[in-house]
Structure 1
Amino acid sequence: MKIGLVSDSLAHLPVAEVIRTAAELKLDCIEFATGNWSTAPHLDLDALLGSAAARSTLMGMLRDHGLTLSALNANGNPLHPGDTGQQHADCLHKTLELARLLEVENVITMSGLPGAPGDRFPNWIVTAWPPETQTILQHQWEVAQGFWRETAQRARDNGVRIGIELHGQQLAYNLPTFLQLRDITGEVVGLNFDPSHILWMGGDPLAFIRQAGHMIYHVHAKDTLIDTVNRATATALDNRPMTQSRERSWSYVTLGYGKPEPWWNAFCYTLAHFASPDLTLSIEHEDMNLSRMEGVIKSVNLLKRTATMEKSDYVLPAI
């Protein structure tokens, strides 16, 4: 396995400092954000698309520090019924083109979420009742089908693959909805697997890996703390701001502060066994209570103890 870093985890640092820090932490790679829900503080998407020299400079900085590029991240909502939908779609499509130019295999994004017919805002359907929920879902998947069929072809044309990050307020947020999306796109679309999202929604990431292993193309290393006292009354569907971590039923935390280290041993081992021992674990720091640098350092140290770093060379003894 390789250990990497989502660049927005250190969004307060200039790109040279992010790269230097990753090298000092002896990481293998970086995943850079290109726009949409990120301000993309480290990359200028249009400048890189338009300048071979700019692309060469970026890749040279990585190479000089012994690092590679694991993915480009264009997380957003390209199916938004308002003006931002087209903007996010354009950013994603440009990111696919840049991935080809930079010779990086993975582009990370989310499935997006339309509204109900005539809505100005997305509408996340999480229940089967009342009956209008099914009408809304039918409309949403019709919208998604056209967009994702075209976008999957763009990925194939650029020789890259897309890793969908399952998340709340998205059309694809669990395994059944992801499989529905993949029926549209084919194998060019896989998973950017983030266990923290599965945890807060009440799922089991280890069971998820066993079922979806071959479809996992990239991994975000992020943890979730479940506050069992708050969750008992608020349930998992807690829409209060993330800053209210004392009151919320769950919060994103630094690795090891939600699930203990033995769980992360099992997570990495299950990934290696059922998915691939060559996956990248890209650290995504979103802990409201730790500094960005401390959270990244603690996460790196945990993964270096739990990830499977070398290929197996075990041979059964002769009988």
Structure 2
Amino acid sequence: MFNPRIGCSSISFRHQDLPTALRTISDLGFHEIDLGALPGVCNHVPYELDMAAVEAVTGEVAASGLLVRSVNGDIGDLNAVLDAGARDARERHLEALLTLTANTGAKALVLPCGALSHHPVRGLDEDLDLVAAQLAWAGQRAAEFGVELWTESLHFLRLCWNLERAELLAQRLAGTGVGIVMDFSHIVAAGEDPLEYIRRHQGLISHVHLRDAVPGNINLSIGNGEADFAAGVNALAASGYAGHFSLELETRDVTHDERPAATAKAASYFTDLL
């Protein structure tokens, strides 16, 4: 029904419990998901992720018949200075997320590009160095599980919120194997140009999130914002991007009853573009 490169994030149906969200996505005709594991954004994966929870979520995903492209998770503020106890807790949480990623057959775990603040903890260079080091460490651990590590950068609400900071982080990640997730909505919300983002990140983009936006607002349905998706998709193709796209419709301009139809309409639109 839809182009097989187009999936749907479970975050699009975060108001539903996980089995219901998976059923909704499958019934719409999708074959692939991104699995939301972001506390405070999407609770489909418990933040207290012990092995019993990993097994339960894995079973629910397997029962749905859907493939998983990525697990979108969080292990805390990567630019925070941690004591030994907090470092141990972070390592345990990362291991649980990587176990979930591997067990669901996902290609990658996605982690954020710093804290939910534009303001550095110590200084921009120091914070970017720490974020890059933490992502590189997580990437090494991911390789042990047979999966990849990606980071969503830029992210309008986080440390790497604009094109300049996203590029500085990408430079620090060169050679680490950590991939970049591009999100149209965050780029537009930051007042940046998706085509310039693609140019500066050529060869680095591993996955693409789809949602519309206007400057300052990331929560719009496809077609209700200012993102030029046709130009962006063409630029991605010209840059050699052959990866997948995920509708991450954490939108606030439709009701929950309208959400399935809006999601299907968006998937049909991108199927035509591809």
Q: TM-score interval w.r.t. the shorter chain?
A: 0.7 to 0.9
Per-residue deviation, residues 110-163 of structure 1 (Å, max 9, x unmatched): 1214xxxxxxx96625xxxxxxx9x72233234335423322211222222222
Instruction: For 1:27-42, list aligned pairs within 5 A.
Output: 27-41=30-44
Question: Is 1:148 paired with 2:135?
Answer: yes
CA radius of gyration, larger in:
1
Q: 1:153 to 1:78 in 2, by over 3 A?
A: same
Q: Which residue of 2 aligns with 1:314?
A: none
Change beyond 3 A, Cα 1:216–1:73: same
The structural deviation recorded for 1:93 is 4.1
Q: Secondary structure at the match of 1:30?
A: strand
Measure the CA separation in 2 of the matches of 1:195 and 1:50.
30
- Compute the displacement of 1:223 (Å): 0.6
Q: Relative to structure 1, is the Cα distance of residues 200 and 55 closer, same or farther in structure 2, using a 3 angstrom cutoff? A: closer
- Cα distance in 2 for residues equivalent to 1:33 and 1:306: 21
CA shift digits 1:256-300 (9 cap, x unpaired): 00037xx322322332332423x3221122322311352453243
Q: Which shows bigger deviation, 268-277 or 5-14?
A: 268-277
Equivalent-residue separation in structure 1 for 2:256 and 2:57 (angstroms): 27
Q: Distance between the aligned counterparts of 1:94 and 1:188, measured in 2? A: 21
CA distance in 1, matches of 2:254, 2:92: 34
Q: Is 2:260 the partner of 1:283?
A: no
Task: Give the letter aligned to residue 79 of structure 2.
Answer: L
Sequence identity percentage? 23
Report the counterpart of residue 50 of structure 2 in structure 1: 46
Counterpart position of 1:218: 207
After superposition, the Cα gap between the structure-2 partners of 1:55 and 1:136, relative to the gap in structure 1 and judged at 3 Å, is closer
1:245 maps to none
What is the CA distance between 1:91 and its match in structure 2? 3.1
Letter in 1 for 2:64: L
The 1:204–1:142 alpha-carbon spacing in structure 2 relative to 1, beyond 3 Å, is closer
Taking the TM superposition and a 5 Å limit, the aligned residue runs for 1:111-190 are 111-113=113-115, 124=119, 136-165=123-152, 166-185=154-173, 186-190=175-179
Query: Is there any run of 5+ residues in structure 1 with no aligned partner, and where?
Result: 114-120, 126-132, 227-248, 311-319
**Distance of 1:224 and 1:55 partners within structure 2:** 31
CA spacing shift, 1:123–1:200, aligned 2, 3 Å:
closer
CA contact (8 A) 2:219 2:253 kept: no
Q: Which residue of 2 aligns with 1:58?
A: 60
**1:252 and 2:254 aligned:** no
Deviations 1:155-202 (A, max 9, x none): 222222222112135333345434443444434211111111111211
What CA distance in whole angstroms lies between the structure 2 residues aligned with 1:161 and 1:3? 19
Residue range with higher mean Cα deviation, 139-148 or 13-22: 139-148
Please name the residue that 1:315 is paired with. none
Q: For 2:79 and 2:203, how far apart are their aligned partners in 1?
A: 27
Distance 1:38 1:91, change over 3 A: farther
Letter in 2 for 1:287: T
Provide the rounded CA distance (Å) in 2 between the counterparts of 1:257 and 1:212.
Answer: 26
Aligned Cα RMSD in Å?
Answer: 3.3
